[in-house]
Structure 1
Amino acid sequence: MQTIIVPVTPFQQNCTVLWCPETMKGAAVDPGGDLPRVLRAAQSKGVTLEKILVTHGHIDHAGAVADLADELKLPIEGPHREDQFWIDGMPMQSQMFGFPPVRSFTPDRWLEEGDTVTVGNLTLDVHHCPGHTPGHVVFVHKPSKIAIVGDVLFQGSIGRTDFPKGNHGDLIESIRSKLFPLGDDVTFIPGHGPTSTIGEERLYNPFLND
């Protein structure tokens, strides 16, 4: 699996364009905004986008999903149905956070723990990781040892849990039971900031040291 990270929105959210090098078919993960930048990144690598993947329903991750789906006629997969209230409230989120008006959407497929998604010839595992939001999901490509974790885990930090239906205990449990078992050598792409490895965070992340 190949990836390119495209920071979007004033929140500098990491939209990830991932693709299958055999077919050059790809997906945009969390296109929160700045669609011309995302599309240019895909085109620069010769990637044809075939779907949109969404980790959770916050505006900086999902604000441009409806527009991208309409523009390229792409199906939307994710997040978990527990985040429907966030997606339905997208127009309100845009007012709260000072974003241009954005539209809500209905995913073509809600995702559950244990599901898989395909991109070209790639298969990614889906893990439901509540805490930051109740319906947050994470995408893992085991052969490449790459995980796209949204706002669950960051280099040296963890996701906020002070939003509606956030839960700190659930977040820590998600990290320990879903992310740590992936293996210390797995690199993860967080929703903001630089990439890191599971092992690095397991050892040195101050929020995860008992």
Structure 2
Amino acid sequence: MAITGLIMVGFLLMHMYGNLKVFLGADAFNHYAHWLKGDILYPLVPSGTFIWIFRVFLLVAIVAHIWSAAVLTGRAHSARSSKYAVTKRLSQTYAARTMRWGGVILAGFLVFHLLQFTAQVVTTGFRAGSEPYDMVIASFSQWWVTLAYLVWVAIVCLHVRHGVWSALTTLGANTSAKARSFLNGLAWVIAIVLFVGFMIMPLAVQFGWVK
């Protein structure tokens, strides 16, 4: 679960960086989007093949992450034969307490996001087959799309903040009070960078800074 989680955090950071190319203009953003689906690793692999290899790899990571969560949850429930006599809530962050439900919500939004920009079945203000830049502008010019995206990104970042800390702890990095403090700070930095990086583009479109 730790390894697949860190793989997805790495993907989010790359995805965020790619989104920022919208500030370079339509040509740069469209070129980047088409490049992702075309010439990566060409001629080592046929044109358009890498994106499918990457999608399968990411899908396997997501399925493995969900499966790991289900297995760990099952182990936690089977480890206790009866309900706790004391139900006092432990000193946990909100993100830690809502990791499971947060993951379910994220999965639902992810499906919507893929249907929106990848499959183009859910067209939020654009026509199927539109250029990537046009899809972004049309979608985030609508306040409800930007608001839904903000909620989703906020949940993602809460999930990431706790997930990064937990993953690195699981992999043995939490070896002292100093290391614990560093890991907690690192998790917060990654979560904040992702939130700002993902939200600056839709907000720029919403307020007319990018047209």
Q: Sort the TM-score into its range (normalised by shorter chain).
A: under 0.3
Higher relative contact order (CA 8 A, sep 6+): 2
Name which one, 1 or 2, has greater alpha-carbon Rg.
2
Normalization by structure 1: what TM-score?
0.27
Instruction: Report the structure, 1 or 2, having the larger strand content.
Output: 1
Please report the TM-score for the alignment, with normalisation by the length of structure 2: 0.27
Higher helix share: 2
